[in-house]
């Protein structure tokens, strides 16, 4: 079975375009949904149930 050069080039271009796009959207999601460290500290200091739970997590989890 012979390789089709057009499909090989299109596949390579697709990978080169979609990989950075995926990285961008993944980092955007992390930036939007990760809580700020000062906010986690404030919630933990309030003593609420959510704050206590967040404060108990290791810092690398959030």
pLDDT of residue 1 exceeding 70, the answer is no
pLDDT of residue 59 exceeding 80, the answer is no
Radius of gyration of the chain measured on its C-alpha atoms? 21
pLDDT of residue 9 exceeding 80, the answer is yes
Q: Tell me the per-residue pLDDT of 12-57, one tens digit each, with 9 for 90 and over.
A: 999 999 999 999 999 999 888 887 888 888 888 898 888 888 888 8
- CA-CA distance, 53 to 31, in Å (whole number)? 21
pLDDT bin (cut points 50, 70, 90) of residue 7 is confident
């Amino acid at each position: 079975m012979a390789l089709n050069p057009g499909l090989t080039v299109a596949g390579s271009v697709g990978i080169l375009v979609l990989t950075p796009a995926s990285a961008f959207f993944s980092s955007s999601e992390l930036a939007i949904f990760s809580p700020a460290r000062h906010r986690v500290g404030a919630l933990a200091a309030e003593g609420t149930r959510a704050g206590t739970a967040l404060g108990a997590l290791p810092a690398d989890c959030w």
